[in-house]
Amino acid sequence: MGIPKHIKYLSIMFFLNAAIAVLIGGLTTISIINSTLVRRDNSSDLIQEFSKIGWNFSLNILITILAIILLIVLGISLRKLKPWARNITFVYSMFSILFGLISLITSDHNISYSFFLQIYAVWVLFRPDVKEAFSVKIKK
């Protein structure tokens, strides 16, 4: 039995999601640095400005990098039918759906494409052919 087609699609979507995160993260970083450089005339003001945004910005960069790595590792591992990847993808998807619903209810009332991707992931992970593919891999 080969890799189910929906696992292939899901892994490709994870890779694309990681690429989009890299693109948006890089553009955001460049934008923040440029706007900080434009607003400040001397180096002491620049250092103070970076220290103000430093911790929050650094934490956001770290979380984004970890999410990108997780998506790439999950995409590769799902294609290799690793049983732990199915479990981690399910947990990751459920947390993403939960946070998406909380965000939808409490704040901006917008739904991200990632929200729908995670719903698709949960649907894929519980398809009979996908369950069978992962259980066959365990028996080998």
pLDDT digit string (tens) for 67-116? 899 999 999 999 999 999 999 999 999 998 998 888 888 876 777 778 88
Determine phi and psi for 126, rounding to 5 degrees: -105, 10
Spans of all domains in the chain: 5-139
Model confidence over 39-80: pLDDT tens digits?
Answer: 555 556 556 666 666 667 777 788 888 989 999 999 999 999
